[in-house]
Amino acid sequence: MPLAPPANTVAPVASGTRGVGLSLSVTTGTWTGSPSFTYQWQRGSTLRGGGSFSNIGGATASSYVEVVADVGFDLRCVVTGTNPAGAVAANSNTLAAQTVSSILGSKLALLQDERGLSVSAIVDQSGNSRDFSQGTATFQPSVSTLGGRAALDYDGVDNYMERPATALSVYVPGIPFHVMVVLKADAISTNSGSAWLNDAAVADTSQFWGLHFRDNAGTRTAIGYLTDSGGVKSISASFAIGAASCVDWFQDGTNMNLQVDAGAAAAPVATGAAATKTGTLRVGLGSGATFFDGIIASVILCNAVMSAQQRTDVRAFLKNQYGVTT
């Protein structure tokens, strides 16, 4: 009786925890025909999952270590069984794409991205219904794009969005907290004064905390500040205009930390207990005439500090989403 080609009777099973640097593996499944096996890992084409699969170069072992380019996309492995009568391919199950929400879980307090935005409203994508709005036409930003995805463009004159006055602790409950913002500044105002007097990407009106940008004699910096029981504390890092950037700012329970893109992290700044202030939360404006000039594409606010793995994975997702360097 002639030898039959292999037949897969139980599909291969891919498993493992998703995340940059973490290892995934696949079983062969069950086959007839006594085949030998080869492996090819594949990546989906659509951010947040779905689309068609294509081969990942060099990913031809039964295990695979996830890289930055994989975050936000489905993964699977094709196992091919071969014997002298032929070769047959069998797909594993799909390992679902990570999203900002799935990476951060209950830490996520607010998420703004390309979904659910218009000139008059930004629909919170965290599931917490913390939407922003702007009902005055002259104050409304315009819709633009960053990295091929919809984003709001603020004119630096009078455009902003806001979440009307509720307890600010809903967003950043004192200390610790974590904020990531993806933006592209067209220009930064010249200012050497207090942190809250500079162009604001996201801030509250009570001058409790904010992420601002300053041009001081040609030196451009991103500035994170908060008011603790001892007064105003700020931290800054070099920042360039005209390019998409990811600003990563957090307080870990002891120190305030700041990093722009893949640049060197700023030296940590010690902070104490949070001051008790509340105010309206705004995007594109702080207190006073501190308007931001440029695109603010994504705002992520967390009520706890991201773990090192979460930071790596969220930054990777933002790189794949908007093309920022992380």
CA separation (Å) from 182 to 129, 152, 312, 323?
Answer: 21, 11, 15, 10
CA angle (296, 298, 302) in 5-degree steps: 130
Per-residue pLDDT of the chain (326 residues; tens, 9 = 90+): 689 999 999 999 999 999 999 999 999 999 999 999 999 999 999 999 999 999 999 999 999 999 999 999 999 999 999 999 999 999 999 999 999 999 999 999 899 999 999 999 999 999 988 899 999 999 999 999 999 999 999 999 999 999 865 544 434 445 688 999 999 999 998 876 777 788 999 998 877 889 999 998 888 999 998 888 888 899 999 999 999 999 999 998 889 999 999 899 999 999 887 776 667 889 999 877 889 999 999 999 998 899 999 999 999 999 999 999 87
What pLDDT, on the 0 to 100 scale, is given for residue 165?
A: 55
Q: Where in the chain is the domain with CATH 2.60.120.200?
A: 100-322
Residue 280, classed as helix, strand or coil, is: coil
* 120: region left, alpha or beta (phi > 0 left; psi from -120 to 50 alpha): alpha
Residue of 55, 125, 75, 97 lying closest to 313 (CA atoms)? 97
CATH number of 7-91: 2.60.40.2700
pLDDT tens across 152-184, in order?
Answer: 999 999 999 998 655 444 344 456 889 999 999
CA atoms of 52 and 60, how far apart (whole Å): 19
What pLDDT, on the 0 to 100 scale, is given for residue 167?
A: 42
CA atoms of 299 and 181, how far apart (whole Å): 5
Q: Where in the chain is the domain with CATH 2.60.40.2700?
A: 7-91
pTM: 0.94
CA separation (Å) from 39 to 20, 75, 119, 266?
Answer: 20, 13, 48, 43
* 297: region left, alpha or beta (phi > 0 left; psi from -120 to 50 alpha): alpha
**CATH 2.40.30.10, domain 100-322, yes or no:** no
